[in-house]
Amino acid sequence: MIEAFLSKIESRAAVVGILGLGYVGLPLYNRFAEVGFRVLGFDVDPAKVEKLNVGRSYIGHIPDSQVAASRAFGCEATSDFSRISEVDAIIICVPTPLGVYKEPDLSYVVGTIEACVPHMRPGQLISLESTTYPGTTDEELLTRVKTQGFKAGEDTFVIFSPEREDPGNPNFRTQTIPKVCGGVTANCLKAGVALYQTIIDQVVPVSSTRAAEMTKLLENIHRAVNIGLVNELKIVADRMGIDIHEVIDAAATKPFGFTPYYPGPGLGGHCIPIDPFYLTWKAREYGVHTRFIELAGEINSAMPEWVIHKIAEALNLRRKAIHGSRILILGIAYKKDVDDMRESPAAEILERLLERGAEVAYSDPHIPRFPPMRNYHFDMHSQPLTPESLAGYDCCVLVTNHSAFDYALIEAHAPLIVDTRGVYREPAEHIVKA
């Protein structure tokens, strides 16, 4: 069956199924269509399905024109998982969040696999792209595929190929980001590489699905640990009266042995705040305590509270308390220039301010209304920034440094600015760095 599968890929006769049409799945949907594959997208959200089928995007940095082009080529979206039988490749791109106690929550992955398996047929490839701990592909995906009598490498091809999307980054796109791929067998790997080579400039094969799963975790743990380090140094520098951003910029002039990482109000997004805990949880099964990784997680998780402390301190110097103050959050997305709220530290900061009695509002050009989240529910919409509106707040907290903000306007009219991103480099009496 491997030769038949490879022939379908080479001739573009294969139909590609994308399961989960979010920040990872939708770019894949468009990219496969761009190179000549018919794509069938699956999502449980009927609003997403409806928009895609009329050629409209629901993600800010993905234009309607891309979705419309995919639709015109014959691609479509559905919520009917019985149509899994129509596709030759099944690519799973669903969330892998954390539970209440920071344990892995694989409910989306498991639910999706179980929705697929009854409708699978011989000759299909199934790829998991969702970030997870080493062993998930074998333990959760392969085990369920075997219940249908399929043998990996013969009747079906099972792989893990972690997503590497960076929403809003203009320097990289799906095609240009190298793709790691690991297979359960040699034939599985061959099929996976053949599929992804049609849309990605460089595919990086590794020896197993576990190696591929660990690769993704290493990439993001590397970032989480280094951000934790610089967040801790930020607090030390603050106590010493030193500008940490000046120090980082100076250190970054060293042409070797140093990579700059910048502090912030806490980690956000679908990977960096979550992935370290997937590994620490799995490591316990092997009797390993990942102290270094967990310490970085503790430091990063404490950053929203540090921001609250700096707000309270700044207001106190002006004979005000958080209770009763009018506070404006500038930017609630987890990173600049995107409309993505996943794990955004802004939500926790906002909640903590409300708990302390503040009157809180937000302004974000990318998020007109506060979206529904798993742990936060606020009935709010983005406020316009004018000289009059800015002057009416006791404190403006810069949480996400969107390019669209008029920073000169904010500096000129906000009575107090707490800057968590190092946007304002020149000292000023009404600017406090956090």
Supply the CATH number for residue 173's domain: 3.40.50.720
Residues 309 and 402 in one domain: yes
> Domain limits at 173?
2-209
The residue among 167, 188, 209 that closes a domain is 209
Would you say residue 376 lies in a domain?
A: yes
Would you say residue 39 lies in a domain?
A: yes
Would you say residue 372 lies in a domain?
A: yes
pLDDT score at 60? 86
Residue 293 near residue 221, CB atoms below 8 Å? yes
* CA–CA dist 293, 396 (Å, integer): 33
Residues paired with residue 160 on neighbouring β-strands, in sequence order:
128, 182
The residue count for the chain: 434
pLDDT tens series, the chain, 434 aa: 899 999 999 999 999 999 999 999 999 999 999 999 999 999 999 999 999 999 999 998 899 999 999 999 999 999 999 999 999 999 999 999 888 778 899 999 999 999 999 999 999 999 999 999 999 999 999 999 999 999 999 999 999 999 998 887 888 989 999 999 999 999 999 999 999 999 999 999 999 999 999 999 999 999 999 999 999 999 999 999 999 999 999 999 999 999 999 999 998 877 777 888 889 999 999 999 999 999 999 999 999 999 999 999 999 999 999 999 999 999 999 999 999 998 899 999 999 999 999 999 999 999 999 998 878 889 999 999 999 999 999 999 999 999 999 999 999 999 999 999 999 999 999 999 99
The residue among 194, 209, 224 that closes a domain is 209
Residues 161 and 205 in one domain: yes
* CA–CA dist 4, 264 (Å, integer): 51
Residue 221 near residue 189, CB atoms below 8 Å? no
Could you list the active site residues? 271
Residues 321 and 419 in one domain: yes
Would you say residue 285 lies in a domain?
A: no
* CA–CA dist 410, 46 (Å, integer): 40
The residue among 209, 233, 254 that closes a domain is 209
Residues 250 and 137 in one domain: no
Would you say residue 231 lies in a domain?
A: no
Using alpha carbons only, give the angle 181, 163, 344 rounded to the nearest 5 degrees.
Answer: 155
* Secondary structure (3-state) at 62: coil
Residues 419 and 341 in one domain: yes
Would you say residue 224 lies in a domain?
A: no
How many structural domains does the chain have?
A: 2
Residues 192 and 250 in one domain: no
Residues 399 and 266 in one domain: yes
Residues 334 and 195 in one domain: no
pLDDT score at 110? 96
Indicate whether this model's pTM tops 0.75: yes
Residues 152 and 259 in one domain: no
Residues 31 and 144 in one domain: yes
Would you say residue 360 lies in a domain?
A: yes
Looking up tokens 């810069």 gives: 398
Residues 179 and 311 in one domain: no
Residue 27 has φ and ψ, to the nearest 5°, of -60, -35
Would you say residue 294 lies in a domain?
A: no
Residues 418 and 355 in one domain: yes
Residue 167 near residue 23, CB atoms below 8 Å? yes
